[in-house]
Structure formats: structure tokens, C-alpha cells
Amino acid sequence: MTTTGDQLQQVRGRIAQACARAGRDAAGVRLLAVSKTFGPEMVREAYAAGQQAFGENYVQEGLDKIAALADLRAGLEWHCIGPLQSNKTRPVAEQFDWVHSVDRLKIAQRLSQQRPAGLPPLQVCLQVNIDGGANKSGVAPQDTLALAREVAALPQLALRGLMAIPEPQPDAAAERAVFAQVADLAARLRDALGLPLDTLSMGMSADLESAIAAGSTMVRVGTAIFGGRPPLAARA
């Protein structure tokens, strides 16, 4: 029987192979295990296999897991990766370590104001709608610099880089081309702002190799680690 630990090892192997093909050091790509819809026991199993960073799309589900795994809190890093509404920013600011989905100034301002002073700065990425998907969250590429400049000035936040979820592409070359646009945008922001912006959060189970080839530093992988997500009816 394949375990979560086995699946993690397979994904880590894919990351290492993709980095080798791209001439990159595998240590430069972090694995974020996307645990949405999977219970805390699955997170605990992945943690026992050496995984520390976990991504949650839904705020309340993430908060429930953080509470259920309070005994592991010092060793876990929680990332909010889903769209964030303004009425949900306080618990995220108080409980999470990273937010990947900042796409407007109001959200960033609330996270900054609500981050407890005793905690380290909240690590944030701007979500960019790189290919103009009509039903997708994210700041437009042409508006990213202005938003980045404002977010970088906020206290209690540390702007780390960009996150993107491109539309599915027909082949690996097309995937790499879209991811390369995100990398190019990040490079322009670094030059304009004089900030390191060391994080490119892009690539998932199906396209992580293409994302790594284009410069991703953090891949968000769920299905390849935890398996297929349960049907909606089974989640109720």
C-alpha cells in the first residue's frame, strides 16, 4: 500500500529531476503540501515523513487543522493559498505564517493591521492573474508594480514575491512560456523596488516540472501527495 510518505518521496524525486534538467539546485525549490479537504491526520502523517509547509485554500478548514495540530505548531508552517475575503483577514493574520493570495491593497492593509505585534511579519505573495483568466483571482500584470510598492511599505508584512495559477495549457512548452511571464514580471519588480523578492509560488501536481524550468521556487502540490480529493458530498 502506498503511503503519504511514499508519495512525498515521489514528488521530491520529481522536483529533484526537474531541477537537474533545468540546471538548478533542488534546494532552491520548496515543496508546499496542499492539504485542503484532507484531515489533520493526513497532515500529521506527512509531517512524520518530513514535510513541514502546508497550504490551505479555505480559511475555516485551515484554522480547524491548526487547532487540531496545536501540538505540532512549532514545527509546522501554514500557508493560506486561496482567495481571501476582507472579513476573513483577522484569523489569517493571527494564525497563518504565509498568504499567497494578496491581490488588492485593502486585503494587505487589513492583514498588516491585524498581524499581532508579537509574531514575525506575515510573509506574503501577490497573486497575479498572468493570463487574464476571467474567473480567476489576481492582480493584472500591468497593475502589479503599483500594488507591490504599496504592500512592501506596510508594517508587519514581508513581501516575498508572486503567486500564479495559469489556465491549463496544451503542452509543456506552453506551460513554461506562461510561467516565464511570471518570472519576468518578478524580475521587473525586483529591479523597480530594489527588493529581493525571492519567491515564485507556481506549479502544481500536473505542471510542476514546467514551473521549475521557468524558475519557480515553491510548488504547491496536493493530489500527487494526498491522492484524489473526495467528492463534495463526502466533505459535508
Its CATH architecture, for the domain 4-228, is Alpha-Beta Barrel (3.20)
pLDDT tens digits for 123-151? 999 999 999 877 678 999 999 999 999 99
Asked if the model's pLDDT at residue 235 lies above 60, the reply is no
Asked if the model's pLDDT at residue 234 lies above 50, the reply is no
Over residues 83-96, the mean pLDDT reads 97
Q: Are 118 and 134 in contact (CB under 8 A)?
A: no
Over residues 59-79, the mean pLDDT reads 98
pLDDT tens digits for 91-126? 999 999 999 999 999 999 999 999 999 999 999 999
pLDDT value of residue 229: 73
What is the residue extent of each domain of the chain?
4-228
Better-scored residue on pLDDT, 134 or 179: 179
pLDDT value of residue 109: 98
pLDDT tens digits for 39-48? 999 999 999 9
Percent of the chain whose pLDDT exceeds 70: 97
Over residues 209-223, the mean pLDDT reads 98
How many helices (H) and strands (E) in the chain? 10, 8
67, with CB counted inside 10 A (0-12, 13-18, 19+), is exposed
Please report which confidence band the pLDDT of residue 230 belongs to, taking 50, 70 and 90 as the band edges: low
Query: Which helix (H) or strand (E) element contains residue 235?
Result: helix 232-235
pLDDT value of residue 231: 55
66, with CB counted inside 10 A (0-12, 13-18, 19+), is buried
DSSP assignment of 96-134 equals -SEEEEE-SHHHHHHHHHHS-TTSPPEEEEEEB-TT--T
Asked if the model's pLDDT at residue 10 lies above 70, the reply is yes
Find, among 2, 13, 10, 68, the residue nearest to 35 by Cα.
Answer: 68
pLDDT value of residue 103: 97
| Mean model confidence pLDDT for the chain | 95
Over residues 165-194, the mean pLDDT reads 97
pLDDT value of residue 134: 72
Q: Are 157 and 126 in contact (CB under 8 A)?
A: no
Q: Are 205 and 219 in contact (CB under 8 A)?
A: no
